[in-house]
Amino acid sequence: MKLILKCLACVLCISFNVQAKPVVLDKVAVIVDQGVILESEIEQLLNTVKRNALRNDQQLPSDKVLRTQSIERLIVNNLQMQMAERMGIQVSDPQLEQTIANMAQSDGLSIEDLRASLASENVSYDTYREEVRREIIHGEVRRANVRRRIYITPQEVDSLTKLMDEQGADQVEYQLGHILIGLPSQPSQEDIERERNRADKVIEVLNNGSDFSKIAIASSAGAKALEGGDLGWLNVNAMPTLFAEAVQGKVKDQLIGPIRSGAGFHILKILDIRGQQKVEVTQVNARHILIKSSVILSEKKAESMLKDFRAKLIAGEADFAALAKEYSADPGSAIKGGELGFADPELYVPEFKSVLAALEKDEYSQPFRSSHGWHLVQLLDRRVEDASEKLKQDKAYQLLYNRKFAEESDAWTREMRDAAYIEVVSE
């Protein structure tokens, strides 16, 4: 198998006549288990990172270091795509187009505006579509594998809910920069000492005024390395426990670490701090019918079924609850006639949330696609509430889930990477 993959580099060469020198169109750069990474993929990612850095006025390390980090990102992505193939995870064209439309709408753009924006950056729409498709697949694979590693007890939810009550409106959010000096999944004492010394050197250069994002891109093994290590805004309840304890009482621009975990040595920088304002929450009560495509039920047929249901409901020829009980693939809501109950829209997937936001009371949506399948939704009611006990518990659960997901996601990625066969063919 290894020999066959190496030969792909030769297959991707062409000569126009017997005397002409072969012209290399592309070549294999890295062998990753049963797959390969092409040189063109590395160049494409390098160009994307450089374009984003220029837009954000961000410093970058040398091309050699940037290439190493890009290869690591592509190795993980390639392994996830191979896993997706084994798991049978696919993203259909209708689902892809619906996701892109929702993304554009959230940015206040039409598809035509999006195409124009991409063209201005010399990015083809087809390239963008496939990148979004891969990102969706990566997310599905990660969720499917990490979700089973997470367990949250009712006691944990109660404890966090009480803590949130005590914090009240004075909760603080931190914008965190993160550098991970990684360890293998079963490190030796020599590994630990070597990487601890490396982490100390990173702290030293940062204390001497080096740019955090540049050092993160050059040195971090974290998932956000190519974004300069920026983890975005988090409150302490959404952070890994290790980080939450470390940032307490710290100030803007302060460096923290190295902090040891199973993943390695973490270095944090508090990029910014903001107070969290108490806001009223608009809850929605909706009901839906979920149809999932399959080998015997195509995407087109699933959408057509829901269009037919919608027409009959509007004409008064069908009952929503009866249709949901008979056809919906969401067992939790199907037995309740499709009703989901009052909930914070933030708990729903982006497509579902976006459609609900555009509906008037009692209005039926057009059929739409999310990562779960095809939906037909009716908005039953909206209400503005202070954070009710149930909502606080839901939020506490979600914060705990996000925290554990981040921790377990890093561990899962590291284990997957360590177990893989990797050979760099060309530098």
pLDDT over 70 (residue 9): no
Average of per-residue pLDDT across 384-398:
74
The model's confidence at residue 12, banded by pLDDT at 50, 70 and 90, is very low
Note the pLDDT of residue 249.
77
Please give the residue that has the higher pLDDT: either 391 or 204: 204
Give the pLDDT confidence score for residue 274 in this predicted structure: 83
Q: Is residue 20 scored above 60 in pLDDT?
A: no
Measured on CA atoms in the order 111, 117, 120, 125, is the torsion positive or negative?
A: negative
pLDDT reading at 14 higher than 60: no
Q: Is the pLDDT of residue 155 over 80?
A: yes
Q: Check: CB of residue 290 under 8 Å from CB of residue 330.
A: yes
Q: Over the chain, what HEC string results?
A: CHHHHHHHHHHCEECCCCCCCCEECCCEEEEECCEEEEHHHHHHHHHHHHHHHHHCCCCCCCHHHHHHHHHHHHHHHHHHHHHHHHHCCCCCHHHHHHHHHHHHHHCCCCHHHHHHHHHHCCCCHHHHHHHHHHHHHHHHHHHHHHHCCCCCCHHHHHHHHHHHHHHHHHCEEEEEEEEEEECCCCCCHHHHHHHHHHHHHHHHHHHCCCCHHHHHHHHCCCCCHHHCCEEEEEECCCCCHHHHHHHCCCCCCCEEEEEEECCEEEEEEEEEEEECCCCCEEEEEEEEEEECCCCCCCHHHHHHHHHHHHHHHHCCCCCHHHHHHHHCCCHHHHCCCCEEEEECHHHCCHHHHHHHHHCCCCCECCCEEECCEEEEEEEEEEEEECCCHHHHHHHHHHHHHHHHHHHHHHHHHHHHHHHCCEEECCC
* Residue range 286-313: mean pLDDT, rounded: 92
Q: What percent of the chain has pLDDT over 70?
A: 90
pLDDT score for 176: 93
pLDDT band, residue 190 (cuts 50/70/90): very high
What local confidence, expressed as pLDDT, does residue 167 receive? 65
Question: pLDDT at position 278, please?
Answer: 47
Considering the chain, what is the average pLDDT of its residues? 86
Give 408-417 pLDDT, tens digit per residue: 998 899 999 9
Give residue 18's pLDDT.
45
Cα torsion 255, 259, 264, 269 to 10°: value is -20
What CA–CA distances, in Å, run from 357 to 107, 311, 368, 382?
Answer: 15, 22, 14, 10
pLDDT at 326: 94
Domains of the chain: 91-147 (1.10.4030.10), 281-385 (3.10.50.40)
pTM of the prediction? 0.55
Predicted confidence (pLDDT) at residue 194 exceeds the cutoff of 80:
yes
Question: What is the per-residue burial (b if ≥16 Cβ within 10 Å, else e) of 47-71?
Answer: ebbeeebeeeebebbeeeebbebbb
Q: Which of 52-56, 96-100, 179-183, 187-191 bottoms out in mean pLDDT, i.e. has the lowest?
A: 52-56
| Percent of the chain's residues with pLDDT above 90 | 42
319-338 pLDDT tens trace: 999 999 999 999 889 999 99
- Mean pLDDT of the 217-228 span: 90
**How high is the pLDDT of residue 16?**
39
Rounded Cα gap, residues 313 and 308, in angstroms: 9
Res 282: pLDDT: 83
User: With bands split at pLDDT 50, 70 and 90, how would you rate the model's confidence at 107?
Assistant: confident
- Residue-wise pLDDT for 57-71, tens only, equals 888 888 888 899 999
pLDDT of residue 312: 95
The pLDDT of residue 186? 86
Q: How confident is the model at residue 309 (pLDDT cuts 50, 70, 90)?
A: very high
C-alpha distances (whole Å) from 216 to each of 25, 52, 91, 140, 404 are: 33, 15, 32, 27, 23
CA distance 292 to 64: 46
> Residue 106 pLDDT more than 50?
yes
Both tokens assigned to 117: 């924006």
pLDDT at position 3 over 50: no
Q: How confident is the model at residue 386 (pLDDT cuts 50, 70, 90)?
A: low
Across the range 135-150, mean pLDDT stands at 91
Confidence of residue 356 (pLDDT cuts 50, 70, 90): very high
Q: Which of 216, 249, 345 is nearest to 288 (CA)?
A: 345
